[in-house]
Amino acid sequence: MDTINQTEIKMNKVVEHLIGELGKIRTGRANPSILDGVHVLAYGNKVAINTIAMISVPEARQLLVKPFDPSTIKDIEKGILESNLGFNPTNDGQTLRITIPQLTEELRKKISKDIKGIGENSKVSIRSVRKEAIDKIKKDNEVSTDMQKQLEKDIQKVTDSFNGKIIKIISEKEKEIMTI
């Protein structure tokens, strides 16, 4: 049924959003997405760092930021320092190297708690999509009562499946955070 496909598409978007949010969380390992929220004042405008520089991972705990225009290196460095990520880039005139510090046990526990909160928000979004789909089915006068009940069961199965995916993603991320 069309409603079930639309529900799956919306729930997939919730999972994709969750993965994107978790990608921004610092884990003690280098990941270019850590800098996604960093904006740099360059050429008179605030721009995302990844639009004016290439970000790579030469080592497990190091990011390499190579500006497309070397004249923007000071602006990029300033943007990283002002981002409050706790990074102190090393500037060699051509590139910036950022060493990702090890996470303390206390910080790991806090991040783990934050991850659970993000996961709960995703589950709430999934339930919201489910409710929207069920309401749509109930408003459809062309669907019989028996068909409504079957569609509701099918939507619940889809919901359970996506909640399982969220739980798996969250537990993997927590395991990654808690691994030293």
- Distance, CA of 3 to CA of 169 (rounded, Å): 26
Please, which residues bridge with residue 54 across strands? 66
pLDDT digits (tens, 9 = 90+) for 83-113: 877 788 999 989 999 988 777 888 888 888 9
Work out whether the CA dihedral 22, 26, 28, 32 comes out positive or negative.
positive
CATH fold for the domain made of 32-99: Gyrase A; domain 2 (3.30.1360)
Longest pairwise C-alpha distance within the chain? 71
| Amino acid code (one letter) for 149 | K
> Band of the pLDDT at 29, cuts 50, 70, 90?
confident
- Distance, CA of 51 to CA of 49 (rounded, Å): 5
DSSP state for residue 94 in the 8-state scheme = S
| Amino acid code (one letter) for 53 | A
- Distance, CA of 17 to CA of 124 (rounded, Å): 13
Q: What pTM value is reported for the model?
A: 0.71
Radius of gyration over every alpha carbon of the chain, rounded to an integer in angstroms: 22
Report whether 107 contacts 26 (CB < 8 A). no
pLDDT digits (tens, 9 = 90+) for 133-171: 999 988 888 888 888 899 999 999 999 999 999 999 999
- Distance, CA of 107 to CA of 2 (rounded, Å): 45
Boundaries of every domain in the chain: 2-24+104-178, 32-99
- Mean pLDDT for 43-60 is 89
pLDDT above 90 covers a percentage of the chain that reads: 41
- Is the pLDDT at 1 greater than 70? The verdict is no
Residue whose tokens read 């499946």: 161
Report whether 23 contacts 173 (CB < 8 A). no
| CA neighbor of 167 nearest in space, from 136, 124, 123, 132 | 123
Structure tokens that stand for 79 in this block: 């943007």
Which listed CATH number (3.40.1130.10, 1.10.132.20, 1.10.3720.10, 1.10.1040.10) goes with 2-24+104-178?
1.10.132.20
- Per the prediction, the chain carries an average pLDDT of 88
